[in-house]
Structures are given as C-alpha cells and as structure tokens.
Structure 1
C-alpha cells in the first residue's frame, strides 16, 4: 500500500497515521530513547515477587545490558486463584530497584482507580493485551504525561490496535509505543503466534515506535532468543523480555522466562547483530 493508497483509504487513525506525521516518533523513557534507531531492551520478571528478588535481578540485567526494567505489580490472570501481584508494595519495590540500578521502570496498570497511584512510581505505563480496548482506561492514560506501552490485543487487527493508540493520542499524550505480543490462532505448539508481519506494517502505516514481546509471543523460553533476533531483523525498535533467576519457581509465566545467563548470551548476539546491520548501512527500527 503506497502513500497515495493510504490517502485514498482515508484512515480513521488520524493522529497515529504516518500520513499526518511523516517523521518517526521517538519516545523518551527516563534516560532512554525508543525509536531513535537503536534497539531498546526492556527486561525483568513477569511479576514482582519480593524486594530482594527484584533488586537482585535488576542488578544482573543492568550489568548484562538491559535498558529498562519491567515487572508486574498488578497481574491480570486467567484464574482468580492465581497470584495477582503485590499491588502498591510491588511498585515500591520496583522504585527501589530503580534507585539502585538507574533503570527506568515499566509496569502494567489495569484500571483507572490505580492509575494516579501507579504514576507516582513508574516511568512507563503498560496497557496489557486484555485492556487494549478498555477505552476509559486508554483515555485516562492519554491525559497523563507518562509514556505508554500499548500491547496488541489477543485477537486484534492492526487497525483496531492503531485505533486504540488513537484514543491515547487524542487525549493529548503523544508518547505511545506499540508492542506486538503475539495473537491467538489455531496453533497450539506455542502460547500465541508472534506476528512479525506487524512490524513492517506498523512502520509503514504509523510513525509510532514498535517493540516486540517474544516471551508472550511464544510462551516457551527456548524460542525467545531466536524470535528476538527475528524481531530485530524485521525492524523492531526494541524488545520486552521476561527474565527470572529461577523460572521453574516463578509465581507467573516461568515457562517463558529466560535466566540472567540466557539473557546475557542473547544480549551478546543482539550487539553483534545490530553492529553488523549498522556496518552494512541497514537502518534499525
């Protein structure tokens, strides 16, 4: 689809469209830019499980090259009996890990009621896949000045995803980053089907940065490094990875979490790969 095709189609996502904003947006999160031609790496456990645990893994991930720290304080789970997160206590632990490491923190906000409290702690608001079309929440985060990481819904089309971004942008917050995290298909060998088609499509249709979540996209730790490299090759502006010191004992999503040692090896590959691309004059992101 050419630019003329886009004009003819008269896309409904006016603010998210590249038609009305030809230059790619760069979003600043703490001291890190996302969408500036480098690969930003967000890493951390699915859930914040304790003070010492989050501080220790934050130190390890920072040492191995992570740029931002992720961790869930509020966890939307399929079962009401599963671990639901530590709430504000978890956010306090994340903030302490930031003080120790300097890593900006990313955490999911699930509802409007907890948004002001969460904004007092975190550097970037994550909107999870289940909330991609929670329009009151999208409008509320659009009225903040915090960067927003908007995950694609489980069965959302790209247009639906961009329209969700439009809700945030239309309320005045320009700092939106899209996250491809896999979609639900008939395939059962992996948790989801990681739609890397979305990366070049988003790059064509929208000026917003896009990162990829191969942890949720595959649901299997052994596939995460391969799909991380594939995401970079597709043009992603970054990665968001689940990492845990002891995945087998994680309170949530241990099966898709890589260890700090595996993260270290992956970061070495990312550095070599991105350096080779830049040497050949290939634009990243």
Structure 2
C-alpha cells in the first residue's frame, strides 16, 4: 500500500553542500566554545549542509547529563551566524518546539523515544501547526514500522510538508557489534510504502562506535538513502555524552571522502538494456520459485489430510530438524548464508503448519493452540 504524504522534495528545502547530504555536529551542546569551535571545523570541510546539536537530551536514567537546556539555543544562534550553517535540534515537547522556533532553529527532529509515543508526537504536531519548518522523524526504539509511519503522518497532518525520516536502527535483545540493529528491511519497507519520502541514515546511533560508521554510511548510500546525520565533536575523548560514537570533524571529512555515491537509476541505454536483461532472468526465476513453492504446498495439504485420517500430530520435530540440517548444508554448498537459508525454511515451515492446522480443524475445533508450534 502506497502512502500519500503531502511533502516537498528534499532538494527544495535542504541545500546539499556536496553529495551526499550531511548533517553533522556534537551529540550534545556542552559549552559555547565547544559548539562554536566544532561548527567552524565542520563548516571548513565544505561538506556539511546543517549543524546538529542536542540541547535537550532524553536519557535512559536520571542523574545523567540531560542537555544544557535553552541557553544552548543562543550558542546555536552564534554558530549559525558565524558559519552560515543552518541548525537542527531535537524536540520532545511543545515547549521545545516553541523555544526552538523562537530562536530561529532551521530544522527540528523527533527522537526515537518520542516517536514511540503517539501522545508525545501529537503534542509536537499540534505545536507545529502554522509553521513552515523542516521536520525529520527518527524511527521508534523498537522495530515497529506502523509506529514510525504513524509519527510521520501526524507531523504531515499538522501541515509540515518539509518532511523526512531518519533511520537510526532498532533496539534488540540480540547482542551484536551494533548499538542498535540496522534492520534495513524496515527502512526499505518504509521506502516502498512512501517512495517520495526522503530517508536519512544515522550511522552514529546504529553503530555506537566510530569504527563501524564508514561501513554503515556506505551501506545506507547503496540502499539509496538521501543522506547521513553523523555526530561530530571537536574532541570526542572528553564528550559528555556518547563519546565512543562521535568523530572529530577531520575524521568525519576523511570518511566522507572515501564514500562512493552511486546512481539511483541506470544512465546510458547500454546500461539500462543490460540491467533489463539481468532483471528478466530474475523475473523468470522468481516465477519458477513461486510455482515450486505452490507445488510444495499442494503436497503439504496431502500430508495434512493423511495425518488427520491417521491421527498423527502436525509437528514432527525429527523431520523438521532433518530438513533444516540437510537444506542448510546444501545451501552453504551453493554459497547461501546459513542465516538466509534458515529464515527461508522457517517461513515455508510456518505456512506449512498453518495449512495443516486448517485441515486438522475443518470440523470447527479451534486451531490457535497449534500456531505456537511454527518455530518449535
């Protein structure tokens, strides 16, 4: 389903100094000197389109540094006046919106914690009514596409047409190298639902450490995201918040120099023709895949009927383990990752369980107790 956002193209409200679009600045405005000095170094790179800085910082636990507060807006005004860079801040309440707009802040963003709460988003949206200001909305902390879309819709319904999303990764119980799991599929789903909505990637919050930022930044550009928002501090070693994920302006510039910006669409006729030929091959294989999966499900139905006639349970653990082990080994030999093969098989198995559950319960017996067996 396509979403109909009433928005302006990113190019109409955000001047790109040099591709890709880059919004950069310290995680937190700590002192006037720190903020202004960082701003000057970032502006000197010629790559930064806007200066970002946290003024109000929602923290996980009380007692941590929660932002310098409204006085930081005056520091941003000075940084803007001296460098010419537009400035961006996070807002989490109607009061934040009012103060930021009164101080001449150019871009507002809604943080992940705020996006997760529709009441908070609506309060921000109500405060934005009547104002022509760009707003960028981070994904919620948890992987919930509807919540992200809902926040964007609330802001758009308030009359904000200069709108974009920020992909900053999602919280996960699984331990990995990332602070927040990228879960690229959710960002891709948003792009599929709203092709005209700009999506900006936040490698700093995905990575949680500066070493991984180049990899995530390149991946975001390869997935046709419209830009990056990256934390940069004049001296990350003494930063008051998120020191490990901030870069010096010089290090940030080095990363940007090495990024490769690829085209979203084919250029020459020769390239288009070659891509069309390769895609035609994919289309044929996809059709065959779907056909074979349908044939598999027909056999599944026969098995389901046979199990019902003979009083056999739906789930056969030994058989499922056999399928997993054999197919994963086969997939590895064909250069398919174990993770992909396992997820693919689990999806097919889930549908097989569903079909057999339907067959078992054609007499009206509730089949909900069987559904939990899907991933057993």
Q: Same fold (TM over 0.5)?
A: yes
Do 2:8 and 2:163's aligned partners in 1 also have CA atoms closer than 8 Å? no
| TM-aligned CA deviation for residue 43 of structure 1 | 0.5
Q: Structure 2 matches for 1:150-165, cutoff 5 A?
A: 150-165=137-152
Do 1:221 and 1:255's aligned partners in 2 also have CA atoms closer than 8 Å? yes
1:202 corresponds to 2:185: no
1:99 corresponds to 2:81: yes
1:147 corresponds to 2:166: no
Describe the shift of the 1:70–1:28 C-alpha distance in structure 2 as closer, same or farther (beyond 3 A).
farther
- Provide the C-alpha distance between the structure 2 equivalents of 1:142 and 1:153, rounded to a whole number of angstroms: 22
Describe the shift of the 1:27–1:147 C-alpha distance in structure 2 as closer, same or farther (beyond 3 A).
farther
- Provide the C-alpha distance between the structure 1 equivalents of 2:126 and 2:19, rounded to a whole number of angstroms: 29
Q: 2:154 aligns with which of 163, 167, 170?
A: 167
Match of 2:337 in 1: none
Structure ID, larger Rg: 2
| TM-aligned CA deviation for residue 144 of structure 1 | 2.4
Residues 68-112 of structure 1, C-alpha deviation per residue, up to 9 Å, x if partnerless?
Answer: 100011111112111111212111111111111111111011211
- Provide the C-alpha distance between the structure 2 equivalents of 1:183 and 1:126, rounded to a whole number of angstroms: 17
Match of 2:340 in 1: none
| TM-aligned CA deviation for residue 15 of structure 1 | 3.7
Residues 10-45 of structure 1, C-alpha deviation per residue, up to 9 Å, x if partnerless?
Answer: x7xx543xxxx7x9833644x6169xx952100000
Q: 1:26 aligns with which of 10, 17, 25?
A: 10
Relative to the length of structure 1, the TM-score reads 0.84
Residues 163-199 of structure 1, C-alpha deviation per residue, up to 9 Å, x if partnerless?
Answer: 1111111121111110010101123232110132334
Describe the shift of the 1:145–1:156 C-alpha distance in structure 2 as closer, same or farther (beyond 3 A).
farther
Larger relative contact order (Cα-Cα within 8 Å, sequence gap ≥ 6):
1
| TM-aligned CA deviation for residue 261 of structure 1 | 2.3
Do 1:129 and 1:152's aligned partners in 2 also have CA atoms closer than 8 Å? yes
Match of 1:115 in 2: 97
1:59 corresponds to 2:26: no
Instruction: Report the secondary structure of 1:139's partner residue.
Output: helix
User: In proportion to residue count, which structure has more helix?
Assistant: 2
Moved more, 67-76 or 258-267: 258-267
Instruction: Report the secondary structure of 2:234's partner residue.
Output: coil
Describe the shift of the 1:79–1:28 C-alpha distance in structure 2 as closer, same or farther (beyond 3 A).
farther
Q: 1:281 aligns with which of 258, 264, 267?
A: 267
1:193 corresponds to 2:174: no
Structure 1 residue ranges (4+ consecutive) displaced by more than 3 angstroms after TM superposition: 276-282
- Provide the C-alpha distance between the structure 1 equivalents of 2:25 and 2:220, rounded to a whole number of angstroms: 19
* Structure 2, unpaired ranges of 5+: 269-376
Do 2:51 and 2:87's aligned partners in 1 also have CA atoms closer than 8 Å? yes
Aligned residue-pair number = 260
